[in-house]
């Protein structure tokens, strides 16, 4: 085990952009709850040249030689063309950072939409390439989508119908028959690609589908590949039957039948799993629904459901927050915005109507209107990145947020205090960790949210233990995190009271709560999440093999043929500029 100092000393040149920056190849990892924790070198290059140290559980033992085939809408490596060169980008986010190392170790295959502008020229004729591009360890199989597919499947049915329905925000629900047709066709294409990859796999394949983009894939894949083991993580809430009923007749049935093609469907919380079961009871009356054991019997098969709350790479965030750079940035931010006893608040979201950003601004308005003595007492940094800007509700929301921030700053601001600093851009993880560390409170105000990773990133980065988490009770995270100040974002007065409670909380209580949240988070990291899912899958596969006497082994997977990787914004505001200037 290395000390942090030793880790810092072990630097080598970045293989992608030698000379530009260094990669730190070492890590200091405490073995925690999981018995089998290992260091893994994980050089990343997401913003030209960056690095994340990854310490992960070696979960390959739970695969027992099976090949993992992962399906997600977003790809783990995207090739982008600029005027001078083609560069590779790894999208930030917990999922990629947890699953990429797993895929590297298992030599599996990741199937995803090839969305990058230089993706075609960097893949072979069927869309395959070895990744990471500089040291191939597994296969990325890209699937191509036309503009019409993106409009119908992705922006249309997935993001204008399923997304608002699953978040119970039916005022944004939009249905078009041609979007549904596109969703069906694209799901079929992805299922075909996954099936092809499973035939190339060494031995037995285990398919793991991600999210609401692919509700129809499991049943389609089962139709093609019989006894293949398929599981699915649903990252957003699952709605109750009265909401799903807003879709035209036949579509709820198709979505549920699609998902019941899985062997295991994973949700963040049991509440979402129970909603799913209520929908099955209502729309598929022939299915045998067992609420207590979270299972459905259908077509002679058993489908299990489970609650697996996702998390983050806690140690990686903590390390980023503890770095010298973060220390300097946090100090600079506090000097700029939290001088003389002033507090600093933070929020971080994509601009999405599920995140409750207007509700948060209304609560701040109420707070500063009703309690004038709190004016000047704290500054809010609101990091709000444009998202899904092709869609009208998102464009409207963005305009509303920008206008409200401007109005609040005009109404309450003084020559030496700007109440809200709006950062209207993507912020890299190192900087996020520093801002989370600097903050005295973090506001998460989602109207509905499957989990909410920002809440966990804030807690992981609070290495000085002075911050308070103000958390919407409508997030999956609120069902897990016991010591946050819970609020209802629809209740503007109650939300303002929650912020006031956080601001006035005595230091001892802040520390006690934050320490408890941090201890809890350390017991439940993204690697624990990954491990618990793979353990469950292994147990289900074992029992299935015992039941059918091993027929399964012959039913899926190919002939052991090759499975190695083939060779082959928006405008900133004055506040944001000011914010950047404040940083060293
Ligand atoms: P999201 O709806 O995207 O995820 P969330 O869980 O909060 O929501 O994750 C957002 C991620 O994006 C965080 O890692 C955050 O740091 C990052 N992010 C947000 N704004 C950013 C910015 N301006 N700059 C840089 N990074 C930014 C969906 C579901 C969630 C569920 C996750 C994981 O909606 O409920 O928690 O998947 O399952």
Give the model's pLDDT for residue 5.
39
CA 423 to chain centre: 20
Q: Looking at per-residue confidence, does 554 or 224 come out higher?
A: 224
Confidence of residue 486 (pLDDT cuts 50, 70, 90): very high
How far is the centre of ligand 1, averaged over its atoms, from the C-alpha of 497 (Å)?
26
Q: Looking at per-residue confidence, does 426 or 57 come out higher?
A: 426
Q: Whose CA is nearest to atom 4 of ligand 1?
A: 452
Give the model's pLDDT for residue 549.
62
Digit-coded pLDDT (tens) for 248-257 = 999 999 999 9
Q: Which of 205, 109, 238 is nearest to 566 (CA)?
A: 109
| % of the chain residues with pLDDT over 90 | 74
CA 475 to chain centre: 13
Q: 347 with 383: CB under 8 angstroms?
A: yes
Q: Token digits for 439?
A: 């903050």
Q: Which of 94, 236, 351, 451 to mutate to test the pocket of ligand 1 (most atoms within 8 A of CB)?
A: 451
- The whole-angstrom separation of Cα 152 and Cα 467 is 43
pTM for the whole thing?
A: 0.87
Atom of ligand 1 nearest to the CA of 383: 23
Least confident range of 49-63, 157-171, 437-451: 49-63
Q: Mean pLDDT across the stretch 238-265?
A: 98
How far is the centre of ligand 1, averaged over its atoms, from the C-alpha of 18 (Å)?
31
Give the model's pLDDT for residue 583.
72
Give the model's pLDDT for residue 83.
82
Looking at mean pLDDT, say which of 7-11, 20-24, 498-502 comes out highest.
Answer: 498-502
Q: How far lies 580's CA from each of 282, 286, 360, 435, in Å? A: 53, 59, 23, 12
Q: How far lies 503's CA from each of 45, 420, 435, in Å? A: 38, 16, 17
Instruction: Say yes or no to pLDDT of 12 above 70.
Output: no
Confidence of residue 88 (pLDDT cuts 50, 70, 90): very high
Confidence of residue 90 (pLDDT cuts 50, 70, 90): confident
Q: Which of 454, 530, 570 to mutate to test the pocket of ligand 1 (most atoms within 8 A of CB)?
A: 454
Q: Mean pLDDT across the stretch 159-167?
A: 98
Give the model's pLDDT for residue 331.
96
Give the model's pLDDT for residue 516.
97
Digit-coded pLDDT (tens) for 16-46 = 333 333 333 323 222 222 222 222 233 333 3
Confidence of residue 544 (pLDDT cuts 50, 70, 90): confident
Q: Whose CA is nearest to atom 9 of ligand 1?
A: 453
SS3 48: coil
Atom of ligand 1 nearest to the CA of 428: 25
Q: Mean pLDDT across the stretch 115-119?
A: 96
Cis peptide preceding 132, ω within 30 of 0 = yes
Instruction: Say yes or no to pLDDT of 389 above 70.
Output: yes
Least confident range of 305-314, 370-379, 535-544, 552-561: 552-561
- The whole-angstrom separation of Cα 333 and Cα 440 is 12
Instruction: Say yes or no to pLDDT of 552 above 60.
Output: no
How far is the centre of ligand 1, averaged over its atoms, from the C-alpha of 454 (Å)?
6
Least confident range of 8-22, 204-218, 500-514, 550-564: 8-22
Q: Whose CA is nearest to atom 3 of ligand 1?
A: 350
Q: Mean pLDDT across the stretch 468-479?
A: 98
Atom of ligand 1 nearest to the CA of 453: 6
Task: Calculate the average pLDDT of the chain.
Answer: 86
Confidence of residue 84 (pLDDT cuts 50, 70, 90): confident
Q: Whose CA is nearest to atom 10 of ligand 1?
A: 453
Give the model's pLDDT for residue 95.
78
- The whole-angstrom separation of Cα 388 and Cα 394 is 6
Q: Looking at per-residue confidence, does 397 or 573 come out higher?
A: 397
Q: Mean pLDDT across the stretch 185-213?
A: 95
Length of the chain: 584
């Amino acid at each position: 085990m290395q000390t942090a100092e030793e880790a810092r000393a072990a630097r080598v040149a970045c293989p992608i952009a030698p000379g530009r920056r260094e990669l730190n190849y070492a890590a200091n990892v405490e073995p925690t709850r999981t018995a089998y924790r290992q260091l893994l070198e994980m050089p990343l290059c997401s913003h030209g040249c960056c690095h994340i140290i990854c310490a992960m559980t070696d979960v390959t033992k739970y695969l027992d030689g099976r090949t993992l085939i992962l399906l997600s809408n977003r790809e783990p490596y995207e090739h982008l063309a600029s005027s001078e060169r083609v560069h590779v980008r790894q999208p930030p986010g917990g999922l990629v950072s947890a699953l990429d190392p797993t895929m590297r170790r298992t030599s599996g295959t990741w199937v995803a939409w090839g969305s990058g502008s230089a993706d075609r020229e960097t893949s072979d004729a069927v869309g395959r390439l070895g990744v990471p591009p500089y040291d191939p360890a597994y296969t990325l199989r890209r699937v191509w989508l036309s503009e019409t597919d993106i409009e119908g499947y992705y922006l249309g049915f997935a993001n204008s119908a399923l997304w608002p329905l699953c978040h119970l925000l039916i005022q944004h629900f939009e249905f078009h028959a041609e979007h549904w047709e596109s969703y069906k066709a694209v799901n079929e294409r992805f299922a075909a690609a996954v099936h092809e990859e499973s035939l190339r796999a060494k031995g037995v394949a285990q398919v793991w589908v991600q999210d609401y983009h692919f509700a129809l894939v499991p049943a389609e894949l089962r139709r093609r590949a019989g006894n293949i083991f398929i599981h699915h993580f649903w990252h957003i809430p699952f709605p109750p039957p009265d909401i799903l009923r807003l879709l035209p007749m036949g579509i709820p049935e198709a979505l549920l039948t699609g998902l019941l093609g899985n062997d295991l469907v994973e949700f963040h919380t049991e509440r979402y799993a129970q909603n799913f079961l209520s929908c099955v009871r209502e729309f598929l009356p022939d299915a045998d629904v067992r609420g207590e054991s979270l299972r459905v019997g259908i077509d002679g098969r058993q489908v299990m459901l489970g609650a697996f709350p996702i998390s983050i790479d806690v140690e990686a965030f903590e390390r980023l927050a503890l770095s010298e750079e973060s220390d300097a940035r946090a100090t600079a931010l506090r000097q700029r915005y939290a001088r003389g006893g002033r507090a600093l608040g933070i929020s971080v979201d994509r601009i999405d109507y599920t995140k409750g950003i207007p509700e948060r601004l209304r609560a701040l308005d109420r707070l500063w209107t009703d309690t004038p003595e709190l004016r000047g007492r704290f500054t809010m940094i609101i990091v709000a990145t444009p998202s899904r800007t092709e869609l009208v509700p998102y464009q409207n929301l963005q305009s509303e947020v920008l206008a409200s921030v401007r109005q609040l700053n005009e109404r309450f601001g003084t020559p030496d205090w700007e109440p809200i600093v709006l950062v209207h851009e993507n912020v890299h993880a190192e900087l996020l960790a520093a801002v989370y560390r600097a903050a005295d409170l973090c506001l998460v105000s989602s109207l509905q949210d499957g989990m909410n990773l920002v809440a966990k990133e804030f807690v992981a980065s609070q290495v000085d233990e002075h911050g308070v988490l103000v958390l919407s009770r409508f997030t999956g995270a609120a069902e897990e995190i016991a010591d946050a100040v819970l609020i209802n974002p629809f209740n503007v007065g109650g939300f303002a009271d929650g912020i006031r409670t956080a601001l006035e909380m005595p230091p001892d209580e802040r520390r006690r709560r934050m320490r408890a949240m941090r201890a809890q988070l350390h017991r439940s990291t993204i690697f624990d999440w990954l491990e618990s899912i793979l353990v469950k899958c292994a147990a289900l596969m074992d029992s299935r093999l015992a039941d059918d006497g091993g027929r399964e082994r012959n039913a899926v997977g190919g002939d052991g043929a090759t499975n190695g990787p083939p060779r082959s914004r928006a405008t900133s505001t004055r506040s944001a500029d000011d914010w950047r200037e404040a940083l060293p």
